[in-house]
Amino acid sequence: MKFTSLSLLTLMLLATVSALPAASPKDLARRNIPLKPSEDSFYSNPAGFESAAPGTILKNRDLPSTIATLGLIPANIKYTQQILYRTTNALGDPAAGVATILIPYNADYTKLLSYQIAEDAASINCSPSYALQFASDSGGFAGTIVTQLEWLIIQGTLEQGWPVVLPDHLGLNGTFLANYASGKHVLDAVRATLASQSFSGIDPDAKVALWGYSGGSLASAAAAELRDTYAPELDNIVATVLGGPVPDIENAVKVLNKGIFAGLIPNGVLGLANAYPAFAPIIQEHLLPSKKAEFNTAYDTCLGASALRFILHDLFAYFDDFDALLAMEEIQTVLTANDLGHAIPTIPIYMYKSILDEIDGIGYTDKLYKTYCNGGAKVKYVRDLISEHGTLAAFGAPKALTFLAKAFRGETVVTKCTKTNTLSSLLDISTATIVPDFLKDTILDLLYKPVGPFLIG
Q: Which residues are catalytic?
A: 214, 357, 389
Round to whole Å and give the CA distance between 444 and 35.
29
Round to whole Å and give the CA distance between 240 and 404.
8
Neighbours of 23 (CB within 10 A): 16
DSSP string computed for 232-258: TT-TTEEEEEEES----HHHHHHHHTT
Q: Are 113 and 158 in contact (CB under 8 A)?
A: no
- Amino acid identity at 389: H
* 96 phi, psi to nearest 5 deg: -115, 150
Which three-class secondary structure state does DSSP give residue 68? strand
CA 122 to chain centre: 14
Neighbours of 222 (CB within 10 A): 29
Instruction: Write the DSSP symbol of residue 46.
Output: P
Instruction: Write the DSSP symbol of residue 319.
Output: B
Angle at 206 between CA 203 and CA 211, to 5 degrees: 130
